[in-house]
C-alpha cells in the first residue's frame, strides 16, 4: 500500500474511532436514565441532533487535516528519502533532499555525509581499477584500430548467428547496399538478415566435414552488390584436449569483399575481347581469301589485281578501326579499375599545401575551401600533378606564391591552383599536360592528363583578366556517398566499439520472451517529434530517432535518425519546441517510406520510450495506410518511474534524469531524447531488480498497475 493509501486508511480508522467513542459515551450516559430524565434527554437530542452531527463532522475534518499535516511533515518526507536513497545506490552523486521536520533533515544531512564518504572511497577504488586496466585498454585500442582499418568487411558471430563484432568496412558495405541492410547490421542482431541461412550453414557443414579450414561463397545484396564471403570457424577457448582433433566452435568469422566493380570490369573486358574476335572474323577471312587469290593466280589481269588489293586495303582499315575502338574501350576499363579512395577535399588541399611548400619551396595559402566536399580520387597522383605544375610555374615563370581553392559546381568539384601576374599560351599549357612528369628528381611515365582522366576529371587553364590572375582548374567528380536520402545514422566516432564478446556466453534463449530477464534482452529506445499532441486529430510524425541497447550497453553508433515530410502545415507552437521548420522537411521521405525501414531497425528488440502510449498511438494509426505493424513488446520509462518512485511529484524525463544522475543533452530532438531515455532506462534496471522485478513480464505487469497507465491518446 502506498503512502496515500495509508493516509486514507488512517483517516478512516480515526473517524471510526471517534464515532465509537461518541457512541460509547452516549451509551454510558444514557444507561442509567429512566422516565422523565430519559424524556428530557431524548427531547434535547431531537433539538440538538443536527448541531451534534455538525460538531462530529468538524471534528472529523479537523482530525483529517491534522493527520494530513502529520503525513506531509513526517511520513511523506521519509518515503521520498527512502526512494532517493534507493536511487543513491545506483547513482552515487544523488543526495537526499532536506524535507520535513528538523530531526528528519538532520538525518538526511548525516546520510549525505556518509554518501560523500562512500563516493570518495569509491573514487579511490575506481582510480586503482583504471590504473590496473591500463594495459587491457591499450590492447583493446590496438584491436579497435586493427579492425577499423581492415580493407575487408569483418563480421564475427556466435553459433546462433548473433553478431558479436563488425568493423567499419562491413558497416559501409551494407549501409551502401540498401537502407534495409543498414538497419539489419548491428551488435546482437542476426547475420541471417544479411545472408541466407542455408549458405552459411552449408559452409559450416563443409568446414566440419573437412575437419577445419575455411569456405567461400558468393552472395548478392538487395541492391545487386556482389559479395565474396569467407567463413572461418572460431574454436572454443579452453577446449578439452581429448577433442583436439575436432575442436568445438564457439562461433565463426566472415570476411566480406565487394566484387561488384571488379566483376563488372572483368565482364566488360571479356565482352570486349569477344566482340573484337567476332567482328574480326569476317575481315580476316576476306583478307585471307584475297591474299590466297593474289598468291595463287599470278597471271591475273591488272584490273583484277587492283580489285583484290582494294579488298585487302578496305578490310585492313576495318580491322584497324575495330582495334582502335577496342583500345579505347580497354583504356576505359583500365581507368575504371584505377584504385580511388573517398577523402575530404579539405584534407587533400592541406596535403597539397604541405607537399608544394616542401618540394618546390613556394608558400601556399588557402583561399576558399568547401569543408563538406568529398572526393573519390587517387590522392597521391593528384598531389604529384599539382606539385609538378607548381614547380614548372616556379622554374619557368618565377612564380613566388600560390593559392589553393576548392568549390562545388553542381556534381563537380573545382580544385584551383592560382597565381598572379603571368599568363601563358595555350600551347605551353598543353605541352605541360602531355609531358611525362619530372619532380625534384622523381620521374614518372604518367602525364598530368593521364592522372586527371584516371580520376574521372579534366584540367583547364583559366585567366581572370580583371584580377590579373590565372589558375589551373582540376575538375573532379564530387563524391556523394556521404549523403543521400537514406535514413541518417548518428555520427560515428573514428574508432567506435563495434564489438561485444560477452555475447559469446550462452543465454536462456529458449524461454518465452515475457519470462526472459530484463538484463538479457536487446532494446530499441526511440522517440518522435510531431506536429502536435493529438494523433487522433491529424497530427503527424516529423522525426524519428532511436538507439539500441545490447547486453546492457548503449550503442550510440547504432543510432537511427530520420526527418519525415508530414505533408501538412507545421503549427508555430510546435516549431518553437523542437526547432524543426518546414524548410528542413522539404524533400524528406514520407511516413510510408520511413516506417518499413524503422521496423527493420527495431526487429527482434523490445521497444522502450518515455510516455510510450503517445508515440505508439502515432504508429498504430499508420498501420492501415502503410501495412507496417509494430507488434514488439513495449516498456515505458514514465510508468517504470511511477513503479520505482511512487511518492515523487513528477515523472517528467528531466526530473527522472536528474534523480538518477543522467545528463540531459539534445532535449526535444528525437535522437537526443532517445539517448537520455536509454541512459535513464539502464539506471532503472538494477533498481527494478531490487524491487523483485526481473523479467519482461514482471516489468510490464507492474507498469500496468500504475495510475498513469490509464492515460490514452
Tell me which long-range contacts 443-446 makes (C-beta under 8 A, separation of at least 24). 444/384, 446/381, 446/384
Q: Are 681 and 641 in contact (CB under 8 A)?
A: no
Q: Any bridge partners for residue 488, and if so which?
A: 561
Q: How many CA atoms lie within 13 A of 276 on its CB side?
A: 18
Q: What is the 3-state secondary structure (H, E, C) of 283-342?
A: HHHHHHHHHHHHHHCCCCCHHHHHHHHHHHHHHHHHHHHHHHHHHHHHHHHHHHCCCCEE
CA atoms of 546 and 673, how far apart (whole Å): 9
Q: Are 53 and 1 in contact (CB under 8 A)?
A: no
CA atoms of 130 and 128, how far apart (whole Å): 5
CA atoms of 187 and 524, how far apart (whole Å): 12
Q: Are 381 and 451 in contact (CB under 8 A)?
A: yes
Tell me which long-range contacts 531-535 makes (C-beta under 8 A, separation of at least 24). 531/566, 531/568, 531/570, 531/571, 531/574, 532/571, 532/573, 532/574, 533/614, 534/713, 535/614, 535/617, 535/618, 535/621, 535/713
Which single residue is written with the C-alpha cell 511512487? Answer: 646
Give the helix/strand (H/E) hosting 547.
Answer: strand 541-550
For 40, other C-beta atoms within 10 Å of its C-beta total 11
260-296 and 302-336 are packed helices; what angle lies between their axes, rounded to 10 degrees?
A: 170
Q: Any bridge partners for residue 409, and if so which?
A: 412
Active site residue 557: no
User: CA dist 463 to 11, 145, 356, 426, Å?
Assistant: 94, 46, 22, 11
Give the helix/strand (H/E) hosting 406.
Answer: strand 402-409
- Residue 483 φ/ψ, nearest 5 degrees: -120, -145
Q: Are 254 and 157 in contact (CB under 8 A)?
A: yes
C-alpha cell at 22: 461518541
In sequence order, which residues have a C-beta less than 8 Å from that of residue 665 and are 6 or more positions away?
672, 675, 676
For 525, other C-beta atoms within 10 Å of its C-beta total 31
- 114 burial type by CB count under 10 A (0-12 exposed, 13-18 middle, 19+ buried): exposed
For 51, other C-beta atoms within 10 Å of its C-beta total 9
Scanning 71-196, the segments in alpha helix (DSSP H) are: 76-90, 102-132, 134-149, 168-177, 179-184
Which single residue is written with the C-alpha cell 577446449? Answer: 239
Among the options 394, 465, 668, 708, which is catalytic?
Answer: 668
Tell me which long-range contacts 266-275 makes (C-beta under 8 A, separation of at least 24). 268/329, 268/333, 268/336, 269/330, 269/333, 272/326, 272/329, 272/330, 272/333, 275/326
DSSP per position, 488-514: B-PPPPSS---B-GGGGS---TTS-GG
Instruction: Enumerate the active-site residues.
Output: 668
Amino acid at each position: 500500500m502506498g503512502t496515500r493509501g495509508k493516509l486514507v486508511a488512517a483517516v478512516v480508522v480515526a473517524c471510526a474511532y471517534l464515532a465509537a467513542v461518541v457512541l460509547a459515551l452516549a451509551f454510558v450516559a444514557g444507561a442509567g436514565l429512566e422516565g422523565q430524565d430519559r424524556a428530557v434527554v431524548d427531547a434535547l437530542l431531537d433539538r440538538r441532533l443536527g448541531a451534534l452531527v455538525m460538531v462530529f463532522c468538524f471534528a472529523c475534518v479537523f482530525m483529517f487535516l491534522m493527520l494530513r499535516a502529520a503525513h506531509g511533515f513526517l511520513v511523506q518526507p521519509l518515503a521520498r528519502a527512502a526512494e532517493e536513497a534507493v536511487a543513491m545506490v545506483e547513482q552515487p552523486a544523488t543526495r537526499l533532499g532536506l524535507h520535513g521536520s528538523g530531526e528528519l533533515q538532520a538525518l538526511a544531512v548525516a546520510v549525505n555525509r556518509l554518501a560523500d564518504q562512500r563516493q570518495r572511497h569509491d573514487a579511490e577504488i575506481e582510480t586503482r581499477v583504471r590504473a590496473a586496466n591500463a594495459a587491457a585498454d591499450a590492447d583493446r585500442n590496438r584491436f579497435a584500430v586493427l579492425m577499423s582499418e581492415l580493407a575487408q568487411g569483418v563480421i564475427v558471430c556466435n553459433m546462433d548467428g548473433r553478431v558479436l563484432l563488425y568493423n567499419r568496412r562491413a558497416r559501409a558495405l551494407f549501409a551502401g547496399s540498401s537502407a534495409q541492410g543498414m538497419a539489419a547490421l548491428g551488435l546482437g542482431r542476426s547475420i541471417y538478415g544479411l545472408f541466407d541461412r542455408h549458405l552459411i550453414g552449408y559452409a559450416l557443414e563443409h568446414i566440419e566435414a573437412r575437419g577445419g579450414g575455411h569456405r567461400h561463397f558468393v552472395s548478392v545484396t538487395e541492391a545487386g552488390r556482389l559479395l565474396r564471403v569467407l567463413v572461418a570457424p572460431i574454436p572454443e577457448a579452453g577446449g578439452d584436449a581429448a577433442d583436439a582433433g575436432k575442436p568445438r566452435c564457439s562461433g565463426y568469422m566472415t570476411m566480406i569483399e565487394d566484387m561488384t566493380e571488379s566483376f563488372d570490369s572483368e565482364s566488360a573486358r571479356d565482352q570486349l575481347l569477344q566482340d573484337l574476335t567476332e567482328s574480326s572474323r569476317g575481315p580476316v577471312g576476306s583478307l585471307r581469301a584475297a591474299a590466297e587469290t593474289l598468291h595463287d593466280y599470278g597471271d591475273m589481269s591488272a584490273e583484277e589485281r587492283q580489285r583484290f588489293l582494294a579488298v585487302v586495303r578496305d578490310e585492313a582499315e576495318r580491322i584497324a578501326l575495330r582495334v582502335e575502338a577496342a583500345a579505347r574501350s580497354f583504356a576505359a576499363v583500365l581507368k575504371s579499375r584505377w584504385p580511388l579512395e573517398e577523402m575530404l577535399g579539405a584534407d587533400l588541399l592541406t596535403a597539397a599545401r604541405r607537399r608544394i611548400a616542401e618540394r618546390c619551396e613556394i608558400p601556399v595559402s588557402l583561399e576558399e575551401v568547401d569543408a563538406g566536399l568529398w572526393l573519390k580520387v587517387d590522392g597521391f597522383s593528384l598531389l604529384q600533378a599539382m606539385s609538378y605544375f607548381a614547380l614548372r610555374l616556379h622554374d619557368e615563370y618565377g612564380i613566388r606564391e600560390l593559392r589553393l581553392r576548392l568549390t562545388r559546381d553542381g556534381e563537380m568539384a573545382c580544385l584551383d591552383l592560382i597565381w598572379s601576374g603571368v599568363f601563358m599560351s595555350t600551347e605551353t599549357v598543353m605541352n605541360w599536360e602531355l609531358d611525362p612528369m619530372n619532380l625534384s628528381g622523381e620521374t614518372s611515365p604518367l602525364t598530368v592528363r593521364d592522372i586527371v582522366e584516371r580520376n574521372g576529371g579534366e584540367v583547364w587553364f583559366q585567366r581572370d583578366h580583371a584580377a590579373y590572375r590565372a589558375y589551373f582548374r582540376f575538375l573532379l567528380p564530387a563524391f556523394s556517398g556521404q549523403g543521400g536520402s537514406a535514413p541518417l545514422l548518428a555520427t560515428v566516432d573514428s574508432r567506435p566499439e563495434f564489438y561485444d564478446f560477452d555475447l559469446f556466453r550462452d543465454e536462456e534463449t529458449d524461454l518465452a520472451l515475457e519470462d526472459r530477464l530484463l538484463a538479457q534482452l536487446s532494446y530499441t529506445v526511440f522517440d518522435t517529434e510531431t506536429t502536435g499532441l493529438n494523433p487522433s486529430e491529424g497530427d503527424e510524425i516529423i522525426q524519428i530517432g532511436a538507439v539500441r541497447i545490447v547486453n546492457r550497453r548503449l550503442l550510440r553508433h547504432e543510432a537511427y535518425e530520420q526527418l519525415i515530410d508530414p505533408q501538412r502545415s507545421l503549427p508555430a507552437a510546435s516549431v518553437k519546441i523542437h526547432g524543426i521548420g518546414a524548410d528542413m522537411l522539404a524533400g524528406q521521405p514520407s511516413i510510408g517510406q520511413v516506417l518499413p525501414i524503422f521496423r527493420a531497425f527495431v526487429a527482434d528488440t523490445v521497444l522502450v520510450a518515455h510516455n510510450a502510449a503517445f508515440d505508439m498511438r502515432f504508429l498504430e494509426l499508420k498501420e492501415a495506410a502503410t501495412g507496417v505493424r509494430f507488434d514488439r513488446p513495449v516498456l515505458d520509462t514514465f510508468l517504470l518511474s511511477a513503479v520505482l518512485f511512487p511518492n515523487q511529484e513528477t515523472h517528467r524525463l528531466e526530473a527522472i534524469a536528474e534523480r538518477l544522475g543522467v545528463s540531459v543533452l539534445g532535449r526535444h530532438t528525437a535522437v537526443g531524447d532517445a539517448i537520455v531515455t536509454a541512459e535513464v532506462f539502464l539506471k532503472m534496471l538494477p533498481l527494478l531488480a531490487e524491487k523483485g522485478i526481473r523479467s519482461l513480464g514482471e516489468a510490464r505487469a507492474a507498469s500496468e498497475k500504475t495510475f498513469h497507465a490509464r492515460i490514452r491518446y
